[in-house]
Amino acid sequence: MTDEIITLDGASVHHGKFSDRVYILSFPETCGEETAAKAEELAEKNGYSKIIAKVPDTKTDIFLNRGFITEAELPLKDAPWEKAVFLSKFTDPSRREEKEKKLQSEILVKALSYQPSQEVPFDMCERMSPADADEMAEVYRVVFESYPFPIHDPDYIRKTMRDSVAYFGIRENGKITALASAELNPHINAAEMTDFATLPDVRSKGYAGALLARMEDEVPKLGISTFYTIARSLSFGMNITFAKRGYNFGGRLINNTNICGGTETMNIWYKFSGS
């Protein structure tokens, strides 16, 4: 079951039955009410149960007036607008019903209790190349039963490397054992820190934190000032990793993403370079 990315009036839109949603990834200044209406028509035509839009703060009224709610905010630094806002509409009310709410809250409280710590060694991390794509895809196949983008496909990995994604990894005895990526969006001067995967037999070594530290060191050299992530709300490890690196909590996207075998709620975390 493959989702696809299309263009609506210049807006980039990811949609499909896999995550059962329409996701407006970008919403340029040229877009307005008609574009939002087309996204809703796309959801209705395909029977999707959620529409989510990441839009400039100057465009939020378009969606609020159409019955969307604000789920999270991403402040931006040195960008064309002050923040990006995640707004959602649940076309099926049952999708808005949160599972594991108590555990989600416990994980968030635990993560927020950590004091930021920047002392993470990252000398072992290296930037991946197209020649690594086949091995990288195998690592992702082992770690993720499902994922919202086709990172199990080496051709997809190579394509994203060419386009806008910098991948980093850690090797042990010549084999890749941990991965992460920075998805660069120069239009809003931000990078999504994502695609974290560590093979089961080498977990608890702090590799995710090391990779994150390396990306925070490298990404500003590419002219990016804002870092953020969309992390599984039920992952103790990833939420704590970002909290310990000084990230701020930006909100929660309810039942948003098909990952690790099911649809999960996701947390937004963000920070600025140099902070």
pLDDT digits over 152-187, tens only?
999 999 999 999 999 999 999 999 999 999 999 998
d(CA 167, CA 118): 21
One-letter identity of residue 79: A
Q: Where are the beta strands (DSSP E) in the chain?
A: 4-8, 11-16, 21-26, 50-56, 69-75, 83-90, 125-127, 165-172, 175-185, 190-198, 226-232, 248-259, 262-272
d(CA 137, CA 131): 11
**Residue 49, CA atoms < 13 Å, CB-side half-sphere:** 16
Place of tokens 């609506």: 8
Do 4-96 and 101-272 show the same overall fold?
yes
d(CA 172, CA 205): 12
CATH class assigned to 4-96: alpha beta
pLDDT at 95: 97
Domain definitions of the chain by residue range: 4-96, 101-272
- pLDDT band for position 121 (50/70/90)? confident
Domain 101-272 has CATH 3.40.630.30: yes
pLDDT at 117: 77
Percent of the chain residues topping a pLDDT of 70: 98
pLDDT at 149: 87
**Is the pLDDT reported for residue 244 higher than 90?**
yes
Global pTM reads 0.93
pLDDT at 266: 97
Rg (CA), the chain: 18
Span 61-86, pLDDT tens digits: 999 999 999 999 999 999 999 999 99
**Is the pLDDT reported for residue 1 higher than 60?**
no
**Is the pLDDT reported for residue 274 higher than 90?**
no
CB contact burial 71-95 (16+ within 10 A = b; e otherwise): bbbbbbbebeeebbbbbbbbbeeeb
